[in-house]
């Protein structure tokens, strides 16, 4: 398995620390609004990675965080917390905003057939771990206290910024205009922000430095180390995280432990709309609900994601989505037509091409081409069907769903999505209740390694 490592800027053979286990940390959503399809490009890329590794025989432990505090509207430690901004916008508390958009996110990833992470951890559930890490950094002389909060002293961490090629070339990414008073260097970043005197936040905690809240970057270092150990295999996110968020995660973790934090850093490129990164702040963004309104299935979007390598930018237009929808329909029709073919070993030649593409730095366009190659080949029907069943484990395009026959009414579909979200959040009480409810309405649900599966009673 060869993967591009942003840190070494080269494609490397994956050498897990304790094979066959692979530990993966993926930065999750900031839950102050709906995630857009740009965000979901990154989660689809990460899900293909997990599925590919599982298919190659690795035992994957995937951790994803939910950022429900500390992510400011500006990367320079000024501006408001996005959650508090969301709370003002909707006249709710930051806690309500976080709960609402976390559920929306979990429903979305279930509808994209993204496997639930093994650990889904919220920043607000890990305040003691974050405080402990800041204290460790303070004891090592890597942190200093100013009126605004506790800051990481980047000048005292040798090799700061080595993840970011632009920074090493001397072109500092993300020119920072605003400066927090007392910060020793523009690169220094908040570990713990103090609530300004006379103000009250929805989310704040006592700490050795005073009442306040954690900086955004510290949550990922603290939770990644808690669930995967001080050193682990793979850390993923979108490319926008290279220059600041992941650079700072490395500084915090390695500053505290003195050990290498992550062996392989992987970054997905942007989804573009109108030639610019799709972003909430830019105004124009598309959600999965918009997509459904246009008559598209989230899995049509998943197909669209496979039309470019994850390290290349990808355009989003409705025409491109429509063409992905047509291609997925054709592939699904081919799969459904093979449903009753006799059992046979999978078509070896195409399976080898499919796996080779995936193992070559997750070449999904190549893997998709191998799938089409198999469908159009003169191979026996059973061999094609077995190939497609295997390919579906990674592609997750709903290939064996005969949608006309299987379609459930929207309210039952919604119950299934809620149950998948409840399971992902490890709320087994709710997921059992929903299973009973579905059962009483004629739908049997079973849980498999690939997520929940349903059939009519
Ligand atoms: P956020 O909720 O802003 O923390 O972002 C969640 C994930 O989406 C992060 O891994 C980002 O890097 C990623 N992301 C944000 N915008 C885009 C985009 N336009 N294309 C691909 N990934 C994105
Ligand atoms: Zn993160």
Q: CATH number for the domain including 302? A: 1.10.730.10
pLDDT value of residue 329: 95
β-pairing, 271-273 vs 276-277, is: antiparallel
Q: Is the CB of 42 under 6 A from ligand 1?
A: yes
Instruction: Say if ligand 1 is within 6 A of residue 38 CB.
Output: yes
**Do 191 and 46 have their domain in common?**
yes
Ligand 1 and 44: CB distance under 6 A: no
Strands (E), 96-249: 119-122, 143-146, 149-152, 190-194, 212-214, 232-238
Instruction: Give the model's pLDDT for residue 409.
Output: 81
Residues 252 and 173 in one domain: yes
Q: Could you tell me which residues come within 8 angstroms of residue 237 by beta carbon, excluding any fewer than 6 positions away?
A: 26, 27, 42, 245, 246, 267, 268
* pLDDT of 98 above 50: yes
Alpha helices in 194-234, H assignment, sequence order: 216-228
264/300 same-domain check: no
Which of 228, 250, 268 terminates a domain? The answer is: 268
Ligand nearest to the CA of 65: 2
Pairing status of strand 276-277 against strand 2-5? unpaired
User: How many whole angstroms from 50 Cα to the centroid of ligand 1?
Assistant: 18
Mean pLDDT for the chain overall = 93
Inform me whether the pLDDT recorded for 171 exceeds 60: no
Q: Whose CA is nearest to atom 23 of ligand 1?
A: 39
- Per the structure, the count of domains in the chain is 3
Residues 97 and 223 in one domain: yes
Instruction: Say how many Å lie between the CA of residue 88 and the centre of ligand 2.
Output: 24
Domain that residue 207 falls in: 2-268
The ligand with the least distance to the CA atom of 274 is 1
| CB-ligand 1 contact for 277 (6 Å cutoff) | yes
Q: Residue of the nearest CA to atom 22 in ligand 1?
A: 39
Same domain flag for 381 and 413: no
Is the C-beta atom of 16 inside 6 A of ligand 1?
no
Our mutation pick for probing the ligand 1 site, out of 39, 45, 243, 276, counting the most ligand atoms within 8 A of Cβ, is: 39
Do 62 and 111 lie in a common domain? yes
Interval 227-273: pLDDT, tens: 999 999 999 999 999 999 999 999 999 999 999 999 999 999 999 99
Cβ–Cβ under 8 Å, residues 136 and 169: no
User: Do residues 315 and 331 share a domain?
Assistant: yes
Asked whether 240 lines ligand 1 (CB < 6 A), one says yes
Exposure letters 51-80 (e unless 16+ CB within 10 A, then b): bbbbbbebebbbbbbbbbbbbbeebbbeee
Q: Say whether pLDDT at 153 is over 60.
A: yes
Asked if the model's pLDDT at residue 28 lies above 80, the reply is yes
Q: Is 0.85 surpassed by the pTM of this model?
A: yes
Residue 450 has pLDDT above 80, yes or no: no
Query: Ligand 1 center to residue 321 CA distance, Å?
Result: 19
Last residue of a domain, one of 237, 253, 268: 268
- Pick the residue whose CA is nearest to atom 3 on ligand 1: 30
39-80 pLDDT, tens digit each: 999 999 999 999 999 999 999 999 999 999 888 888 777 888
Of all atoms in ligand 1, which is nearest to the CA of residue 240? 12
- Nearest-CA residue for atom 6 of ligand 1: 29
Give the Å distance between the CA of 396 and the centre of ligand 1: 21
173 falls in which pLDDT band (50, 70, 90)? very low
CA of 239 to the centre of ligand 1 (A): 8
Tell me if 241 CB under 6 Å of ligand 1.
yes
Q: Is 251 in the same domain as 391?
A: no
Tens digits of residue pLDDT in 397-435 = 999 876 655 677 878 888 998 998 999 888 999 999 999
Ligand nearest to the Cα of 238, by number: 1
pLDDT band, residue 174 (cuts 50/70/90): very low
CA 356 to each of CA 2, 49, 57, 364, 424: distance values in angstroms, whole numbers, following the listed order = 10, 14, 14, 10, 31
CA distance 223 to 207: 18
Mean pLDDT over 214-218 rounds to 95
Query: What is the average pLDDT across 174-180?
Result: 61
Neighbours of ion ligand 2 (CB under 5 A): 27, 220
Distance from the CA of 455 to the center of ligand 1, in angstroms? 34
| Probe residue for ligand 1, chosen from 35, 42, 174, 234 as the CB with the greatest number of ligand atoms within 8 Å | 42
Instruction: Look at residues 268, 302, 327 and tell me which one is the last residue of a structural domain.
Output: 268
Q: Who contacts 379 (Cβ-Cβ below 8 Å, separation ≥6)?
A: 347, 350, 387
Residues of the chain by 3-state class (helix, strand, coil), percent to 5 = 45, 20, 35
* Nearest ligand to the CA atom of 109: 1
Average pLDDT for 134-148? 97
CATH number at 90 reads 3.40.50.620
What confidence score (pLDDT) does residue 178 get?
61
Cα separation, 381 vs 132, in Å, equals: 59
Q: Are residues 171 and 250 in the same domain?
A: yes
Q: Are residues 105 and 217 in the same domain?
A: yes
Which residue has better confidence, 127 or 87?
Answer: 127
Do 77 and 129 reside in the same domain of the chain?
Answer: yes
Q: Hey, what are 266's tokens? A: 């992987």
Closest C-alpha residue for ligand 1 atom 7: 39
* pLDDT given for residue 408 in this prediction: 77
- What pLDDT does 165 receive? 77
* Same domain? 143 vs 75: yes
């Amino acid at each position: 398995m060869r993967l591009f490592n942003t840190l070494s800027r080269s494609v490397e053979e994956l050498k897990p620390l304790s094979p066959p286990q692979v530990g993966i940390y993926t930065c999750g959503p900031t839950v102050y609004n709906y995630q857009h399809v740009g965000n979901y490009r990154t989660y689809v890329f990460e899900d293909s990675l997990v599925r590919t590794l599982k298919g190659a025989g690795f035992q994957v432990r995937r951790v994803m965080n939910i950022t429900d505090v500390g992510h400011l509207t500006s990367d320079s430690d000024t501006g408001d917390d996005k959650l508090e901004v969301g709370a003002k916008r909707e006249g709710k508390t930051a806690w309500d905003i976080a709960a609402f958009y976390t559920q929306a996110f979990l429903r979305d990833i279930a509808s994209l057939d993204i496997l639930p992470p093994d650990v889904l951890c919220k920043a607000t559930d890990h305040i003691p771990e974050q405080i402990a890490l800041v204290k460790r950094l303070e004891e090592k002389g890597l942190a200093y206290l100013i009126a605004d909060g506790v800051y990481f002293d980047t000048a005292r961490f040798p090799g700061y910024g080595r993840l970011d090629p632009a920074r090493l070339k001397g072109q500092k990414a993300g020119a920072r205009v605003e400066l927090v008073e007392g910060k020793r260097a523009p690169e220094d970043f908040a570990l713990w922000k103090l609530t300004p005197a006379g103000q009250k936040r929805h989310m704040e905690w006592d700490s050795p430095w005073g009442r306040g809240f954690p900086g955004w970057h510290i949550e990922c270092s603290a939770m990644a180390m808690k669930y995967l150990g001080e050193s682990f295999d793979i850390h993923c996110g979108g490319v926008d995280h290279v220059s600041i968020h992941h650079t700072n995660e490395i500084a915090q973790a390695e500053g505290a432990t003195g050990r290498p934090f992550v062996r392989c850093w992987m970054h997905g490129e942007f989804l573009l709309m109108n030639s610019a990164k799709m972003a909430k702040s830019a105004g124009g963004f598309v959600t999965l609900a918009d997509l459904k309104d246009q008559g598209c299935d989230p899995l049509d979007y998943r197909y669209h994601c496979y039309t470019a390598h994850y390290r290349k930018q990808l355009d989003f237009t409705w025409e491109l989505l429509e063409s992905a929808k047509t291609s997925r329909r054709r592939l699904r029709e081919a799969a459904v037509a093979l449903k009753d073919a006799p059992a046979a070993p999978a078509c070896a030649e195409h399976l080898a091409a499919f796996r080779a593409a995936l193992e070559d730095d997750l070449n999904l366009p190549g893997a998709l081409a191998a799938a089409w190659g198999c469908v159009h080949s003169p191979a026996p029907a059973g061999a094609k069907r077995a190939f497609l069943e295997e390919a579906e484990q990674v592609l997750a395009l709903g290939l064996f769903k005969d949608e006309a026959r299987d379609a459930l009414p929207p309210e039952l579909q919604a119950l299934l999505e809620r149950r998948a979200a409840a399971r992902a959040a490890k709320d087994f009480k709710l997921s059992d209740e929903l299973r009973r409810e579905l059962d009483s309405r004629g739908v049997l649900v079973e849980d498999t390694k690939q997520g929940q599966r349903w059939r009519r009673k």
